Amino acid sequence: MRIGDVARRSGVSVRALRYYEEQGLLKPTRSPGGQREYGEDAVDRVRFFQQLYAAGLPSRRIAELLPCVDTGTTTAEQRAMLDAERDRIRKQIDEYTAALARLDEIVVAAADRRA
Amino acid sequence: MRIGDVARRSGVSVRALRYYEEQGLLKPTRSPGGQREYGEDAVDRVRFFQQLYAAGLPSRRIAELLPCVDTGTTTAEQRAMLDAERDRIRKQIDEYTAALARLDEIVVAAADRRA
DNA sequence: GTAGAACCTACCGCTGACGTCAGGTGCAAG
DNA sequence: CTTGCACCTGACGTCAGCGGTAGGTTCTAC
């Protein structure tokens, strides 16, 4: 698959795919002419990246845990990082939930006024 | 209260407080010498900002909904914005939850391997 | 009245995940 | 063989929420 196909199928831009490679997240082979050639798994991998990006993980962290995904094993360091990230995400969810409650308060207060 | 006091009490930097003013979130009065003078409610307001920032609301949105908080009423436009933000936050929570599940999978898979 | 902490404005710097050129090359179709 | 789209590298631009610095002023304490 060429880069445009991966982009269309995964829903990210061509630029983003080149950026992911720059960050060490994708390692496509090259055609004799120098064009990137992606395997079938590339689309799923990109969707996986998007999920983690959406949870606030930076490229570095994603790159660090790719070996875990590929080998199915973790070093002590990787487990520590995974735990830290999971903790961070849980806290984030709490903060989002709290903020949501604050916005709800505003809505409810305004609704009461109108009632 | 002067800016340093507000900073210490609310846990944000002096620089951040000046930034909030620049964004129209705080409107302290000025002393004859030109120094910012904050009311007692400033600390709570800043904590409120932090909560919303933590949920991914940009300064603009926060500025837009401050009138709602102060007056306890909302215009149709403001209600639409509030609904959109609440929706966005709920989706974000879903995405965070999904990402958390993915990380959990990795941890569990690695744990199984070790077992 | 003077030291020094706290304040002021103005401005440049940083990070991250890309967007957006510019200028050149690869490749499939007719 | 040429059209023309897709691709390439390299490099600068963007946005948000501040951090940090420079150079000068105000306020508080003694």
Our measurement of CA B34 to C1' C3, in angstroms, reads 22
> Is A74 close to B102, i.e. CB distance below 8 A?
no
Q: Does A114 touch chain B (CB under 8 A)?
A: yes
Q: Does B92 touch chain A (CB under 8 A)?
A: yes
Nearest CA in chain B to A104: B86
Over residues B17-74, the pLDDT tens digits come to: 999 999 999 999 999 999 999 999 999 999 999 999 999 999 999 999 999 999 999 9
B96: burial class by Cβ within 10 Å (0-12, 13-18, 19+)? buried
pLDDT at A115: 61
B18: CB within 7 A of chain D nucleic strand: no
Check pLDDT > 70 for residue B98. yes
Q: How far is Cα B67 from Cα A8, in angstroms, rounded to an integer?
A: 43
> Is A110 close to B74, i.e. CB distance below 8 A?
yes
Q: State whether residue B109 is helix, strand or coil.
A: helix
Nearest chain A Cα distance for residue B36, angstroms: 28
- DSSP letter string over A35-75? -EE--TTHHHHHHHHHHHHHTT--HHHHHHHHHHHHHS---
Strand D: which nucleotides have any atom within 7 A of a protein Cβ? 6-9, 16-20, 25-27
A1: CB within 7 A of chain D nucleic strand: no
pLDDT at A110: 85
The per-residue pLDDT of chain B, averaged, comes to: 94
> Is A79 close to B104, i.e. CB distance below 8 A?
no
- Beta strands B29-30 and A36-37 are unpaired
B82, B103, B113: residue with CB nearest A73: B113
Phi, psi of A55 (to 5 degrees): -95, 10
% of chain B beyond a pLDDT of 90: 93
Per run of 10 residues, the mean pLDDT along chain A (length 115 residues) is 97 98 97 97 97 95 94 92 95 96 92 71
pLDDT at B115: 62
Check pLDDT > 70 for residue B114. no
pLDDT at A100: 96
> Is A96 close to B89, i.e. CB distance below 8 A?
yes
> Is B110 close to A65, i.e. CB distance below 8 A?
no
Q: Does B113 touch chain A (CB under 8 A)?
A: yes
pLDDT-derived band at B110, boundaries 50, 70, 90: confident
Q: Which has the higher per-residue pLDDT, A75 or B112?
A: A75
